[in-house]
Structure 1
Amino acid sequence: MLDHAGEEQWQDVIRLVIGHCNRRETEAVISGLVAAGDTTGERETRFALRALAVECAMSAGALEDSRHDEVWEKLRAMGAPCTEQEVLHLASLGPDALAVIPEPEGLRPADAVGYVQVLRLLGDAGLSRLARYGRLDAREVRAEIVASWPYLDTPQFAEQVLAGMRLDDMGVRVFRRSQLVQLPRLGHIDRLLISGDCDAESLRTALRGCTMRQLSLVRNNALADLGLLRDHPEIEELSIHRCLMVKDLSALAGLNLTALDVTDHRLRFTALTVLPSLAGLRTLWLDPLAEGDGRFPDLPPGLEHLTVVSSDALRLDSLAPLPNLKSLFLYAELAGSRALQHVRGRPHLTELGLWETTLSELDDRDCLPGIRRLVLDVIKPVLAPDLRRYFPGLRKVHIMDRRHDVEQALDLTALQGEPALEIEVDNPTGQPTVLDPHHFGDRLTINGQPAA
């Protein structure tokens, strides 16, 4: 049996039989596990064997103190768990695992993260130690603790751990009402996401005493009134996604927003009349553009980044001058001929996003020499247009591959004669392939990885 101790199925057998062994047999099993752990060359196997030796020592009815201390010291010498399996091995020891989880001071952040992952699996037994880890400066450690909230959704976790942490550089995600009622304990949060149905009064109560730089309200069909936002002038960035009962945005007029993201909504075009009053707004995303025959609403003059998705053909002649506009993403058909001529005179516009199919409707008079980065949504396997013809100053093209059949190679032959052009290809649902990628060398990346 001990000859196969490195194999997971035999480890389960050892767990079953150790409770039926006499003292001599128990000593033999534990000695064998210690020896096997000392001789194996693989860390993961060594960790598993040493954790199993501790588990057997805990189950033994009688064991020499020296042997008991030895197995715990061997496990402690392994240091912080490095993999998910090592985390599970350590957590399987229950509250006794606290004996090999050190105090956080002086730990490398990566090691502290490993111990946090164990502590959250220990439940209430690990809370006081987890609270001390939460006082570390290392952001990745605190982020791991915040990510533990769904696993430890108890008032004690919020009160003992989260309430004592620095969260002003953290994102906090709330999905349950039991979490929502704990928000007043948390003070200032950098980014707060609240998902699920919750009426305005419940939100108002939950956010009382809580401040945030960025707020995201997601999938809330019980929220109709945004008046509660007037209590939070500190909000700089606001996202409203799939809150289908929201019909009025007038409450936003009292906020000092720099970014607004309204997606998957049922707003009427008249609800957008609040936008010009948002003098500090720099980034706006509307998906979809409220029905208005493709017309753009009046927009704040300081806007720098605009993204619009529309089922109507967009009328670019209705777009305000926006002298500071730097990026414009238009995911819709474009109304009229020579549509892009209406954005030519914008001195700071260097980034443009379009459906690739709209390029076939352009002619030489649509040339935009100021564009340096072009983002194209592609649904066909061949990129046909001569991009330099319309964008002579282009330095980078980012292709969003929306095809479902990524097995068919994407043909970018039209870009082979552009040695100075960087090419990025991304597909959110799979790993796309590119025809003859070696022709592009190191200037081509696919899903963030070099293609060459």
Structure 2
Amino acid sequence: MARTLVEQSRGQADLATKTDALLDRLPHPDARDAAFERRYLSHLAAKHGRLTIYGIDLYRSEAEWPLDMAYLSLEATGSGEGAADAIRLATGAGREEMADAAWLATFTRHQTDPTAAYRTRSVRADLALVEHHRILLRGQAGSGKTTLSQWLTLAAAAEEPVEGMTYLWGRVPFVLPLRALTRHGERLPAVADFLSAADCPLPAPDGWIDRVLSAGRGLVLVDGIDEIPEAERGRARTWLRDLLAAYGEGNRWLVTSRPTAVRDDWLAGDGFTELTLSPMARAEVTTFVQRWHRAAGPGAASYEQPLLDALRANEDIGRLATNPLMCGLICALHRDRRGFLPRGRKSLYEAALSMLLERRDRERDMGSPSGVELSEDAQIRLIQRLAYWLTVNGRTQIDRERAKTITAEAIPAVPEAHAVGDPDKVFAHLLQRSGLLREPTAETVEFVHRTFQDFLAAKHLVERWDIGLLVSHAGDDQWEDVIRMAAGHARPRECDELLRELLTVADSADGRATQLRVLVVAATALDHATEVSPDVREEILARTAEVVPPRSPEEARALAAGGRAVLHLLNGPGDLDAPDALHSVIAASHIVSGAALPYLARFADHPDLDVRSQLIWAWPRFDPQEYAEEVVVRLDPTDLRYFVPGDEHAGELLRLGLRPDLLEIGERVSDEALARLLTACDPVFLRLRRAGKQHSLTALAGLTRLSSLVIGLNSTTVWSAADLPAGAPLAALELPAAWPQEGLRHLERLEHLHTLNLWRSPLLTAGAWVQLAALTRIRTLRIDCNDLAFCPDGVTLDNVKTVHLTHDNHPELDRLVRLFPTLEALHLTARSEETVDVAALAGLPGLRILRTGHELTGTEHLPPAVEIIT
């Protein structure tokens, strides 16, 4: 009977979640809106619900797979709260409130500057919008930016909540690929034109998009800032800012770009958090390879394990398998060549082109379906003209008629194509059978991936020896890969000339950022080149050393693109101050090679916590066992929070006898591994990430030393307050989107709890406020300003002395004054840069501290004793 009651309770909770989401989808009384929205979401699910897996179509298998089966969740890193999340819970609370000695001993170091530590954090890219409503996501070509947009769209448009992605269900996605919106140089679309601009054929009711965005239900996905010319990016930012000014409230925004397309603070003033897609970690590569071979059919199974072994043993190939595109090509080539792989990036691309252009139809016994037979070389010579035009004009899409014209103009110089006699048939053959081109719309043509465009444009530029054109674009992010690949295509003397010219450009650069970019392009071109004279190589490395150490995390990541050669340029810990040491470690930790481990291990006992934190955050990028034995086992554990992303990492901590006091547990750690690790460590601080309702939190109940707990759960997870360790001195607690089944009332059993963070939780209903008011031990509270409107009249929390309030434009401070009449410290965290009027705070006679990061008005009304900290 008990089990039946529990299952019924869980079913009711799940039903309530779905019902609430359905109600959210019907904010407007006009039934036409609801009917259209259902059609629109179905259209998006069909359009974006499948993922192309490169190379699969060579083997009589489906080239596309359902996205919810094929999608691989990746990590993103960036500046953020990181491990200071729970520490911030205690900020502003007087030390006299922290009676627990373990709590004091662990967190005293962070009280003066709780945001200093752990500046770099790692999050699951598809869950980043849970916490940050506006994100600028950077990623290399092929890293999965567009696929992520597809996945978010599918999660929002699905008929039933997608496991782990419920936070988006009920939102309305608007997918805006900039390469398509600006292909004719026209103005970016007004809100009313979003659907037509994105080639959606459905006619929306008048004003529907405005009503959705005004209600804060939108998911706006702006894909590819880097795929429009640099001169047009300022116009795109103005367009985006206008949208934010009109519809910023409540909606979620994702803008994607290549890493160096826009400067670091390009959207920072508009409240955007910057994240960068991480290279695929070893576990992610393994998962991808397994899924690829499953998709390719029974005949591919025998190649799966040999490829995994090759990726582990062959570092050159392993370094290429860092994103979904390259992993897919490597899988296809490994099977196509019956277990043998080309060495180096250029050879890999050439083999891929051969596979797509010449062997594709032959392997599938297709004959000549277009009636045209062209050799691999003839097709490349024609297609590279299109790549050249697109690159020179700063585009990734071309009008179909213009593409036909360019092809027709190139045909006379290619005898095989000229012999066909009909340019239209040649163009149709290239479009339909080459495997390199596709039609996103009936009027446009693009490459199946930008990487192939860059590779073929570089080939054409080298054949023409347009070195002046290459060098003149040395500081242009859209040309970085083109220049690197040009070094690979060039003959030795040509390559030396190109590299020397790049050094000249670096000498004349008007800023350190441009100089660093050009030098890194030159340094990485060394790995692409077939042969480089020793003096040119030494000169490039010597000049790159002049910008070492990097001065910021952004510079560090840019420098890391130089590869293993950079490791020899970085100084050791004895020659660096703390900031330079941190940036050097960031650079080395982004060079995913076993060669980086000895350098990183030298910093394992560094006195600066930020440096050691970067070392532990880098663990997922490397082989778990090798990194644990070289780096993790040597770390000074003082105040260090250990990030444990998966079962292998948890196993390594146990195998090596490491028992950290501060732990962060990632989504890939199973309940069984979690229980073993927590039993062994009994941590003082724990941040627990969980996605999906299959996880259990029962492993927490036996903890005896826990002082601070951050629970990161998906809103579908069902759990109980009985899972919390009542016997531990739990002083600070952050609750997730999924509250315990019993609500807040059973938190009273936690006798030491004085700090509660609810800002990521569901809206506080009237009943929740009543339960919260009954928790009379709470001294510090973090909430969202939207919660204040739901507090019933007459409810006050006299016991709360410190409030952290996250707000949008105009927080209702008068409500806050009535709710917390004895408040002593207020911390305002804005999601925008709006000025805040704080005159209402004059009603708090005991207020002593006001901490804020934005401009205030009305301060003249505050008591003189109030200290304003900005």
Shorter-chain TM-score: what band?
0.5 to 0.7
1:73 has 2:542 as partner: yes
How do residues 46-65 of structure 1 correspond to structure 2 at under 5 angstroms? 46-57=515-526, 63-65=532-534
Partners in 1 of 2:730 and 2:820 — Cα distance? 33
Match of 1:112 among 548, 572, 581: 581
Change (3 A) 1:46 1:360: same
Preserved contact between residue 249 and residue 271 of structure 1 (Cα < 8 Å): no
Partner of residue 688 from structure 2, selected from 199, 207, 217:
217
Aligned with 2:683: secondary structure? strand
- Structure 2 partner of 1:440: 859
Note closer, same or farther for the CA distance 1:40–1:186 as it changes in structure 2 (3 Å cut). farther
CA distance in structure 2 between the aligned counterparts of 1:84 and 1:177, rounded to whole angstroms: 29
Select the residue among 173, 191, 197 that pairs with 2:662.
Answer: 191
In structure 2, C-alpha distance between the alignment counterparts of 1:14 and 1:129, rounded to whole Å:
29
Do the aligned partners of residues 188 and 253 (structure 1) sit closer, same or farther apart at CA in structure 2, a change above 3 Å counting? Answer: same
- Residue by residue over 1:266-287, the C-alpha shift from the partner in whole angstroms, topping out at 9 and shown as x without a partner, is 34489949827x5xx1426497
Question: 1:165: which partner in 2?
Answer: 635
Q: Per-residue displacement from partner, 1:424-445 (whole Å, max 9, x unpaired)? A: 678xxxx9xx8xx55437989x
Change over 3 Å in CA distance of 1:32–1:271 after alignment to 2: closer
Measured after TM superposition, the shift of residue 112 of structure 1 is 2.2
Inter-CA distance 413–36: structure 2 relative to 1 (3 Å threshold): same
Q: Which of 226, 238, 256 in structure 1 is aligned with 2:698?
A: 226
Does the CA-based 8 Å contact 2:813-2:841 persist in structure 1?
Answer: no
Give 1:252's match in structure 2, choosing from 725, 729, 733. Answer: 725
Query: 2: CA distance between counterparts of 1:227 and 1:166?
Result: 27
Partner of 1:82: 551
Give the partner amino acid of 1:249.
Answer: A
Question: C-alpha displacement at 1:42, in angstroms?
Answer: 1.2
TM-score by length of 1: 0.64
Match of 1:312 in 2: 767
For 1:130, the equivalent position in structure 2 comes to: 600
Kept after mapping to 1: 8 A contact 2:578/2:608: yes
2:800–2:823 CA contact under 8 A, matched in 1: yes
Question: 1:302: which partner in 2?
Answer: none
* Alignment correspondent of 1:283: 754
SS of the counterpart of 2:664? Answer: strand
Deviations 1:218-266 (A, max 9, x none): 4374455736753x53333344554955447388354344445565333
Matches of 1:393 and 1:240 in 2, distance apart? 29
In the alignment, is residue 150 of structure 1 matched against residue 620 of structure 2? yes
Whether the aligned pair in 2 keeps the contact of 1:119 and 1:130 (CA below 8 Å) is: yes
CA deviations over 1:106-130 (Å, ceiling 9, x no partner) = 3122222222223223223312222
Query: Once the two structures are aligned, what percentage of the paired residues are identical?
Result: 21
- For each residue in 1:384-410, what CA deviation from the matched residue of structure 2 results, as whole angstroms up to 9, or x when unmatched? 8599899887665556789xxx89986
- CA shift in 2, pair 1:319/1:111, >3 Å: closer
Decide which of 249, 266, 270 is 2:740's aligned counterpart: 266
C-alpha change, 1:22 and 1:408, in structure 2 (3 Å) is: closer
Give the counterpart of 1:38 among 507, 528, 536: 507
Q: Partners of 2:813 and 2:709 in 1: how far apart? A: 38
Which amino acid in structure 1 is aligned with residue 739 of structure 2? H
- The answer as to whether partners of 1:6 and 1:45 remain within 8 angstroms in 2 is yes
Asked if 2 retains the 8 angstrom alpha-carbon contact of 1:186 and 1:210, the reply is no
Deviations, residues 162-187 of structure 1 (Å, cap 9, x unaligned): 22212331223334333333332472
- Secondary structure at the residue paired with 1:134? coil
Secondary structure, in 3 states, of the residue corresponding to 2:687? strand
TM-score when normalising by structure 2: 0.37
Alpha-carbon distance between aligned partners in 1 of 2:598 and 2:521, rounded to the nearest angstrom: 26
Preserved contact between residue 250 and residue 274 of structure 1 (Cα < 8 Å): no
Partner secondary structure for residue 574 of structure 2:
coil
Counterpart in the other structure of 1:349 = none
Partners of 1:58 and 1:317 lie apart in 2 by 60
Distance of 2:740 and 2:559 partners within structure 1: 50
- 1:204 correspondence with 2:623: no
Instruction: Write the distance in 2 (CA, Å) between the matches of 1:77 and 1:110.
Output: 17
SS in 1 for 2:602: helix
Tell me what 1:237 maps to.
708
Structure 1 residues 246, 73: closer, same or farther in 2, change over 3 A?
same
Give the AA of the match of 2:859.
Answer: F
CA drift of 1:140 comes to: 1.0
Structure 1 residues 47 and 409: CA distance shift in structure 2, 3 A: closer
Give distance in 2, aligned partners of 1:198 and 1:32: 50
Task: Specify whether residues 66 and 260 from structure 1 end up closer, same or farther in structure 2 by C-alpha distance, changes over 3 A only.
Answer: closer
The code of the aligned residue for 1:312 comes to G
Aligned CA distance change for structure 1 residues 413 and 360 (closer, same or farther; 3 Å): farther
Partner of 1:94 in structure 2?
Answer: 563
Gaps of 5+ in 2: 1-467
Question: Shift of the alpha carbon at 1:415?
Answer: 5.3
Change (3 A) 1:359 1:90: same
> Do 1:236 and 1:257's aligned partners in 2 also have CA atoms closer than 8 Å?
yes
Counterpart CA distance in 2 for 1:169 and 1:97 is: 30
Q: CA 1:441/1:68 → structure 2, altered by over 3 Å: closer, same or farther?
A: farther
**1:327 corresponds to 2:779:** yes
2-side partners of 1:443 and 1:195: how far apart?
44
C-alpha spacing 1:129/1:58, structure 2 compared with 1 (3 Å): same
Q: Distance in 2 between matches of 1:85 and 1:286?
A: 31
More helix by share: 2
Deviation (angstroms), 1:197 = 7.6
1:301-340 alpha-carbon deviations (Å, 9 max, x no partner): xxxxxxx9665276699958x7xx57265989xxxxxxxx
Amino acid at match of 1:47: L
Unaligned 5+ segments in structure 1 are 289-307, 333-353
Q: Matches of residues 280-429 of structure 1 in structure 2 within 5 Å? A: 281-283=752-754, 285=756, 311-312=766-767, 319=774, 327=779, 355=788, 361=794, 383=812, 385=814, 397=826, 414=840
Report the counterpart of residue 651 of structure 2 in structure 1: 181
Change (3 A) 1:166 1:35: same
Q: Does the 8 Å CA contact 2:766/2:790 hold for their aligned counterparts?
A: no
Answer whether contact 1:15 1:56 (CA < 8 A) is retained: yes
Q: Distance in 1 between matches of 2:492 and 2:757?
A: 72
Secondary structure of the structure 1 residue equivalent to 2:515: helix
> Aligned partners of 2:744 and 2:844: how far apart in 1?
46
